[in-house]
């Protein structure tokens, strides 16, 4: 009590219900309660609440200066205000000619959209598949199909055990298997039965987790480095009608005379070889097998997709120590099933993705096969969003074996069955010296990045040979780094400034040759920051201070 006024009166009312679908005024109150708009602000109704599927949909315009990105980020608060579980609330920014930064489309499900059996993959009923078409991957909360492009990119799948990681990886591989003009390298470091059926279609196959298996993978990667270099050399000799750019085309990939089929390297439990500590020598350097594999995979992820060689990597330990930051930075497509915390989610999906409303650690344990997809390229993701929550299609063990058998028959009919699938796997064409030369510049540049703070370590790994003082680049646009590292602009600029890298403006030629002014960083500043923050030089600096 205060100044004679009565104290607070407690009252219990009944449970809140989803009555806003019938009354837009309650929707405005929900936005105010979630602190997404002010008490004196309102919403403009673009499309009235309508019934769509198993839920309600409505499109609204936010007040001036309010952004859809903030609504997406505070989805939990809005779900609470609407009295629904956050898995029932789907928020998308309306883009394109019919949208703007303040237009939001909402869809609220009547019940948990993932509390039903998953749909069976349509690939089971496909006689064959064209790998140049995105692969059917799953369906979103509104039961809309989601596809995954595979050509010209690479894929990282991460999750804690028993969340559907291998099932999701096999979905991506199934599209490759049903195209007889593809070549598969399959390495199963789980050493189980999950990938055994792929032996009938794989050009190379291994299953095991011993050091010998790791060294076999090293030979494969060395062979693929040489294959990629050979493809680029042959592309230069082709006429413009056959090869208009330095990229593989469908015609080139299917021309058996050129021998440039789309090639996929699938590695399940990739953390096993990357953590291997077997001592080896590569290019005159002594290092562990895991470190060398990380360098080879990073080189392939950067150089190989345009030549038709893609990586599909899966791991149950998505931490910064297991997957090198330089490798993560160049894997275009990411799929995160449930992980332990937001840091692991960001390692898979990209920096600051949790602040944009995409956090795989908040997925429910009961939602097997549900994850957040951040695709690269022209994926069929509803709403044109940066990332989409997807429930992957279900592919039972028998369906997987059926697809592999069908892929084997297709390859026999086309005459493209090779390697392990024929029972006569060829010895890898290994040229360790050439592979060491190819990655030597990157190795020299990134040798000391292990002790660097983020995002400086990721920048150093991404730029690699571009930081070479003689033949490297002198200026890097900020937009390029943000796109490559999937970084949040404000936090990235702040951290780079803390490390001594201040952005400057430069005029660079556009695609048509017209100069335009952009913000970016001088590579000399980045080199200085790397030198300053390396542990060896930190010790030297302390010693110099002591001597003074």
Q: Which residues are annotated as a binding site for ATP?
A: 159-166
Q: State how beta strands 309-315 and 155-158 pair.
A: parallel
Residue 449: φ, ψ to 5°: -80, -10
Contact 347, 323 (CB under 8 A): yes
The number of residues in the chain equals 548
Six token digits for residue 355: 């602040």
Going by the annotation, the residues of the binding site are: 159-166
Instruction: Of 218, 231, 167, give the one whose Cα is nearest residue 194.
Output: 167
The three state secondary structure string of 444-505 is: HHHCCHHHCCCCHHHHHHHHHHHHCCCCCCCEEEHHHHHHHHCCCHHHHHHHHHHCCCCCEE
Distance, CA of 241 to CA of 255 (rounded, Å): 14
Q: Is 508 exposed, middle or buried (0-12, 13-18, 19+ CB in 10 A)?
A: exposed
The DSSP string of 354-371 is GGGT--GGGS-TT-TTEE
Contact 442, 295 (CB under 8 A): yes
Residue 392: φ, ψ to 5°: -65, 155
Report residue 350 CA to chain centroid gap. Answer: 7
Q: Is 128 exposed, middle or buried (0-12, 13-18, 19+ CB in 10 A)?
A: middle
Instruction: Of 269, 268, 265, 334, give the one whose Cα is nearest residue 297.
Output: 265
Distance, CA of 526 to CA of 381 (rounded, Å): 36
Task: Please confirm whether the linkage preceding 455 is cis (ω < 30° from 0).
Answer: yes
In sequence order, the 6+-apart residues with CB closer than 8 A to the CB of 284 are 436
Strand pairing partners for 120? 394
Distance, CA of 175 to CA of 131 (rounded, Å): 6
């Amino acid at each position: 009590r205060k100044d004679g006024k009565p104290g607070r009166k407690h009252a219990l009312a009944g449970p809140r219900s989803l009555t806003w679908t019938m009354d837009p005024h309650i929707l405005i109150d929900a936005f105010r309660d979630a602190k997404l708009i002010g008490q004196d602000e309102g919403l403009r109704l673009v499309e009235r609440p309508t019934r769509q599927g198993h839920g309600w949909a409505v499109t609204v315009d936010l007040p001036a200066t309010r952004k859809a990105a903030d609504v997406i980020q505070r989805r939990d608060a809005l779900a609470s205000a609407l009295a629904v579980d956050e898995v029932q609330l789907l928020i998308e920014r309306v883009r394109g000619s019919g949208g703007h930064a303040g237009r939001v489309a909402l869809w609220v499900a009547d019940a948990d959209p993932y509390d039903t059996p998953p749909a069976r993959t349509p690939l089971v009923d496909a006689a064959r598949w064209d790998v140049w078409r995105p692969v059917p991957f799953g369906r979103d909360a509104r039961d809309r199909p989601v596809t995954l492009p595979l050509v010209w990119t690479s894929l990282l799948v991460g999750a804690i055990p028993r969340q559907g990681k291998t099932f999701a990886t096999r979905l991506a591989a199934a599209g490759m298997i049903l195209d007889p003009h593809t070549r598969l390298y399959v390495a199963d470091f789980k050493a189980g039965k999950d990938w055994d059926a792929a032996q009938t279609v794989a050009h190379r196959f291994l299953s095991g987790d011993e050091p010998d298996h790791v060294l076999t993978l090293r030979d494969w990667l060395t062979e693929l480095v040489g294959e990629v270099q050979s493809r680029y050399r042959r592309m230069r000799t082709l006429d413009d009608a056959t090869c208009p750019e330095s990229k593989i085309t469908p015609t080139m990939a299917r021309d058996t005379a050129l021998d440039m089929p789309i090639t996929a390297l699938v590695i399940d439990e990739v953390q096993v070889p990357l953590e291997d500590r077997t001592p080896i020598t590569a290019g005159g350097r002594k290092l562990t097998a895991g470190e060398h594999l990380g360098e080879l995979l990073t080189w392939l992820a950067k150089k190989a997709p345009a030549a038709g060689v893609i990586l599909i990597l899966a791991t149950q330990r998505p931490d910064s120590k297991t997957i090198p930051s330089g490798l993560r930075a160049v894997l275009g497509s990411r799929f995160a099933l449930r992980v332990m915390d937001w840091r692991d989610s960001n390692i898979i999906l990209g920096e600051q993705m949790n602040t944009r409303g995409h956090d795989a650690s908040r997925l429910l344990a009961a939602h097997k096969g549900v994850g957040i997809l951040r695709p690269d390229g022209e994926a069929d993701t509803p709403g044109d969003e940066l990332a989409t929550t997807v429930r992957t299609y279900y592919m039972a063990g028998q369906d997987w074996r059926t697809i592999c058998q069908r892929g084997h028959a297709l390859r026999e009919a086309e005459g493209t069955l090779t390697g392990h699938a024929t029972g006569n796997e060829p010895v890898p064409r290994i040229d360790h010296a050439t592979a060491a030369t190819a990655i030597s510049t990157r190795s020299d540049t990134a040798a000391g990045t292990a002790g660097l703070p983020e995002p400086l370590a990721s920048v150093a790994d991404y730029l690699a040979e571009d930081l070479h003082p003689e033949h490297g680049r002198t200026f890097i646009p900020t937009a390029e780094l943000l796109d490559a590292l999937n970084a949040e602009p404000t936090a990235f600029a702040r951290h780079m400034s803390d490390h001594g890298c201040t952005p400057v403006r430069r005029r660079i030629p556009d695609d048509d040759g017209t100069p335009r002014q952009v913000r970016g960083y001088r590579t000399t500043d980045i080199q200085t920051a790397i030198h300053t923050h390396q542990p060896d030089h930190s010790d030297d600096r302390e010693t110099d201070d002591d001597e003074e």
